[in-house]
A and B are shown apart, each in its own frame.
Chain A
Amino acid sequence: MSENKLFDKSVYDARARQILSQVPLLSARDVEVTFSLRGNKLTAIRRASLDLYEGETLAIVGESGSGKSVFTKCFVGMLDKNGSITHGTITYDGMDLTQLKENDWLKIRGRKIAMVTQDPMTSLNPLKSIGKQIQEAVELHQGLRGAEAKKETIRILRAVGIPEPERRYKQYPHEFSGGMRQRVVIAIAVACKPKILICDEPTTALDVTIQAQILDLIRRLQKEEGMTIIYITHDLGVVANVADRVAVMYAGQVIEVGMANEIFFDPWHPYTWALLSALPQLGVKGEALPAIDGTPPNLFNQIKGDAFAPRNKMALNIDFMEEPPTYEVTATHQVKTWLRDPRAPKVEQPKAIARLSEPKVDKGTDPDTYHPHLDPNRETLIEVKNLQVTFGRGRKKFVAVDDVNFEIYKGETFSLVGESGSGKTTIGRAIVRINPITKGEVLLHGQRISGKISKEQDLKVIRSMQMIFQDPMASLNERAKVDYIVSEGLINHHLYKDDHDRQNLVQAALNEVGLLPEFSSRFPHEFSGGQRQRIGIARSLIMQPEFIVADEPISALDVSIRAQVLNLLNDLKKSRGLTYLFIAHDLSVVRFISDRIAVIHKGRIVELAESEELFYHPLHPYTKALLSAVPNPNPYVERNKKLLVYDPTQHDYSKDKPSWTEIIPGHFIWGNERERDGYLEEIAKKL
């Protein structure tokens, strides 16, 4: 693919010209939404304005609490009961949507403007067959009856990519997988033939490969059915994939809006900069990611000036006093920041933004970077041998992890990547001995730690291995103060002299993860996700471990906060010489942080290699599919990418049995003789 074609911005230019010649289809002006919560007033949307043009896909990006969902719910009249639009207008088709009564909404909701929500399970009726549910919408909105309606339903099922629609028509939601369910929800929305389709994080709960398929579907449907789409997400890679135009929201306001190429390559709001720079995909290995400190503002408080100012390293004095007006960068690109004022000092966009427009070339292992596993004196810290974990008994027996082998060397970050249900968390938990193992063993420093071990050794293992959990909301005891949570391990084994000593240790641990000492007397619910995750890290650190299992430590966090945690983990690795087992589903994050990556599919590791090598030479078809599905935050690349789908039936293991072999030094793969020959040929071709 030539570079010119890759960076072809004519698509966006054509769309921009089209937009400039149009009257907006829907136009929100100065919308303010307030909620009353136990007597307090929360201003969720603070005079936000947004235009939507016919035939476009507009992505709204923002962190949780930025108001992106609430804002779009106003367009379908679906605000929660305690919320109301207190200011502004939303014009659609000559009507002001803010003035509509519930009866009027029935004519618009679904028919003109439809919505697809995040969780497909809660939006479907479990007691009705899929076909009936779609047909209902067809009959109501298209006026078809009986056989005709059924025919249309089957057509729609086929259109959203459900195989064997006649058979699927009779099935119930529980017989569908998550991705299929989301397709059905989209089918119901499409059945109403809406002008505008609002997709509220429709792929957040899905795996990357499924997500990529749903994104493809949405793009195709837009073309075929001629819909206008509003796509809400927090994932910039997804934005790059679907969006013609992007609106960035922060603290209830649209702070920057422009064509996708303008937002990705020429953004002007410091928040957009920070958001893009904090992407691990754009990080340079070994360097800290440019993180955004702190947390989004509390909307219960009156916000003065620019809401982002307290977290903005380039804030001007005026940012603390006055809300910035909207400045025009180009005819399609508006931004709300004082930096665009003629009187403001000249600033340049951060380097990471420029890095985004450079094509990323996979070079394979960089000989200059140090990797612990390449060290001739490498020390094996953890060894997993023929690990098998099963759940249940008898007929209900389920093998979650089978025949897993790997070693983790001292000082490295070893990542385990796979989709939900692949068994990656099970492996992590088996190593820290939460899940009992059925077969095989786990060794620490060459000593067996699985199964029954002496009490003395048990304590040693507890001290040397700790775990960081995925969900910062669930991983802290809400009813205990931070002081207790952090010192729990100390108290258990009485690892301190007196109470004063214990408190000092807690303070030191909090300090190490960048939290203020006064936090120790607070309860977890007062903290944001990133801060809570750091409390969890402090809890593990206080045991002075040498090995930490990090189970998806950033996947539940907001984009702006992820970088904080990633940097912290990297810093600790340096300062304490920690070794990590990093469990994740997102390959792009993993590439930035890890030395080696193992790809796991259905409880079995299919490929293991040094991280750059894996991106350079992905061999196993599953790895290739996973790599092709990962969203890339460059819209040019993302829009032109080819999606690979993995089909497990392509392996013929009936005669030629597969095995776990080192195909080239440091690169392991699961495959049989014939496949290995193919893989070797592939490598030879690339060299």
Chain B
Amino acid sequence: MAKNERKKTPQEMQEPVVDLTIDYGTVDTEPEKERPMGREYPQSRNRMPESQLFEFAAYHSQDAERIGYSNYSYWKSVWQNFLKKKPAVIMLCVFILLFIFTYVAEWISPYKIAELQQDNQQIFLTPSSEHWFGTTQAGKDYWVITWYATRVSIGLAALVAVGQIVAGTVIGLVWGYVRKLDGFFTELYNLIDNIPTIIYMTLIALMVGQSVGIMAAAMIGFGWLGTARNVRNLVFMYRDREYNLASRCLGTGLWRTLFRNIFPYLISVIILRLTLAIPGTIAYETTLSYLGLISEEYSLGILLKNSRDYFLRFPHMLVFPAVIVSIITITFYLVGNAFSDACDPRNHV
């Protein structure tokens, strides 16, 4: 094909660049001949007779059309960029190991969470080979309790964070894109946001119930606000771009416009919010437990709450859950930042 033919020509001619030996048989060997001004004598012009050098090269417009970049994949670039952030990668590994360990911990321990009994003989034991994290005020093994509580908290936090972000993103997209609904959502937001959420939470806990399920639902119910507002403001930036007008000309529906045209631009922000929502939820859950609004038996929040009366005398009550909470918070902070940076295509290529 003509296309290939053209591609060859310059390459063939380029080959001699590597081969710097000059074949005097084929080259114009009269350097003394009068040269036009400015002429520097070259290093790489051989193998092609002088007469051919000044012939027209074949031309194909398809070749001029080629573009320089290799095949590009968005998520591959995201992943590659993320891997460059060493601290985040390390912390992510630590966190994954920690999460797996919440299961392993109970398995390697002689105590099982379901079989823990109150034992007044063994209260407030400090860590030992018998009780690796010591015991609680009820004489229960703190090792299994801590790891079980970690698992519960992570699960709860992930559930709440995902729920909040999904609800917030969907509402925010519609809020920002559909002009007619802007007033309604803004008033709704003001109505809910102007009263401290802790009051709502208290009311729900007293009127509906204090189980983890209800509280998680309530946390999602009030947590979407911030994300929705944030997403709405971002949608404004992209709403009137020409590519959205083009989609309107093509008759693209609302949901496809939102999820194909706008959502992909918000991924980095949404991921950042998601990763920060996880430690945020753990902290919030701690607060709610502290206030006695959650009636779960074990969670990191409950453990921290329980330790407040004793930790001056029995620091192990505080130290173990606190260290785990810190690890989780730091991990998600680092990973969130790194991942949202990596999601920004301006940092690719």
Residues of A within 8 A of B (CB): 293-295, 298, 300-301, 304, 309-322, 325-328, 338, 340-345, 429, 432, 434, 458-459, 462, 465-467, 469-471, 474-480, 484, 488-489, 491-493, 514-516, 519, 521-523, 525-528, 531, 536, 539-540, 543
Contact = CB atoms under 8 A, between A and B. Distances in A.
Interface string B189-212: 000000000000000000000000
Given A317-B13, A432-B249, A345 B56 contact: yes
Nearest to A521: B71
A469 B53 CA distance: 44
B42 interface: yes
Contacts of B36: 325, 327, 340-342
Chain A binding surface, main DSSP class: loop
Interface stretch (B43-51, B141-149, B304-312): B43-51
B251 A344 contact: no
Interface stretch (B60-68, B88-96, B126-134): B60-68
Interface residues of B, number: 53
A516 B246 contact: no
B246 A309 contact: no
B241 A526 contact: no
B4 interface: no
A101 B261 CA distance: 48
A345 B245 CA distance: 52
B86 interface: no
Nearest to A326: B38
Interface stretch (B252-260, B276-284, B286-294, B317-325): B252-260
Given A317-B48, A480-B260, A343 B54 contact: yes
Contact of A479 (B63, B242, B251, B265): B265
B39 interface: yes
Nearest to A338: B54
Contact of B71 (A343, A345, A522): A522
A82 B243 CA distance: 33
B14 A304 contact: yes
Contacts of A514: 65
Given A325-B40, A477-B261, A522 B65 contact: no
A462 B246 contact: no
Contacts of B9: 317, 320
B74 A320 contact: no
19 contacts: A294-B65, A295-B67, A304-B17, A317-B9, A317-B53, A317-B54, A325-B40, A340-B36, A341-B54, A345-B55, A467-B246, A467-B249, A470-B242, A475-B245, A492-B252, A523-B72, A523-B74, A525-B349, A543-B250
A309 B59 CA distance: 10
B69 interface: yes
Contacts of B155: none
Given A310-B64, A474-B243, A316 B55 contact: yes
B18 interface: no
A611 to B, nearest CB: 27
A307 to B, nearest CB: 13
Nearest to A487: B250
A278 to B, nearest CB: 14
A316 B57 contact: yes
B9, B50, B242, B250 pick with most chain A CB within 10 angstroms: B250
B243 A328 contact: no
B245 A322 contact: no
When A and B form their complex, which 9 residue pairs have the shortest distance between CB atoms, in order from nearest? A294-B64, A479-B264, A293-B64, A325-B38, A475-B242, A489-B250, A318-B53, A462-B251, A320-B10
A318 B345 contact: no
A519 B249 CA distance: 23
B108 interface: no
Nearest to B36: A327
Interface of B: 9-10, 13-14, 17, 36-40, 42, 44-45, 48, 50, 52-57, 59, 61-69, 71-72, 74, 241-243, 245-253, 256, 260-261, 264-265, 345, 349
Given A309-B10, A466-B250, A522-B71, 6 more contacts: A317-B57, A325-B40, A477-B261, A488-B247, A491-B256, A522-B67
Contacts of B251: 458-459, 462, 489, 492-493
Contact of B250 (A344, A492, A516, A526): A492
Contact of B65 (A321, A432, A515): A515
Nearest to B28: A343
Contacts of A321: 13-14, 17, 42, 44-45, 48, 53
A328 B50 CA distance: 22
Contact of B252 (A312, A341, A488, A521): A488
B10, B247, B249 pick with most chain A CB within 10 angstroms: B249
A293 B61 contact: yes
B286 to A, nearest CB: 38
A302 to B, nearest CB: 11
Contacts of A469: 242-243, 245-246
Contacts of A328: 37
Contacts of A342: 36
B217 to A, nearest CB: 33
Contacts of B10: 309-310, 320
Contacts of B62: 516
B56 A327 contact: no
A609 B245 CA distance: 30
B347 to A, nearest CB: 8
Contact of A344 (B54, B59, B71, B345): B54
Contacts of A338: 54
A316 B54 contact: yes
A319 B243 contact: no
A533 to B, nearest CB: 11
Contacts of B69: 522, 526
B264 A480 contact: yes
Given A315-B59, A320-B57, A492 B72 contact: no
Contact of A298 (B53, B68, B264): B68
Contacts of B38: 325-327
B54 A301 contact: no
A327 B245 contact: no
A293, A317, A476, A543 pick with most chain B CB within 10 angstroms: A317
A434 B241 contact: no
A322 B10 CA distance: 12
B67 A531 contact: yes
A543 B40 CA distance: 56
A301 B241 CA distance: 32
Nearest to B60: A293
A465 to B, nearest CB: 8
B234 to A, nearest CB: 14
B37, B57, B253 pick with most chain A CB within 10 angstroms: B57
A309 B57 contact: yes
Contacts of B243: 469, 474-477
A338 B35 CA distance: 13
Contact of A488 (B50, B68, B250): B250
B13 A345 contact: no
A469 B245 CA distance: 9
Contact of B57 (A315, A459, A462): A315
Contacts of B48: 317, 321
Contacts of B250: 462, 466, 488-489, 492, 539, 543
A271 to B, nearest CB: 13
Nearest to A549: B249
A309 B58 CA distance: 11
Contacts of B52: 317
Contacts of B57: 309, 315-317, 319-320
B245 A429 contact: yes
Nearest to A530: B65
A536 B55 contact: no
B345 A477 contact: no
B261 A320 contact: no
A467 B248 CA distance: 10
Contacts of B66: 294, 516
Contacts of A312: 59
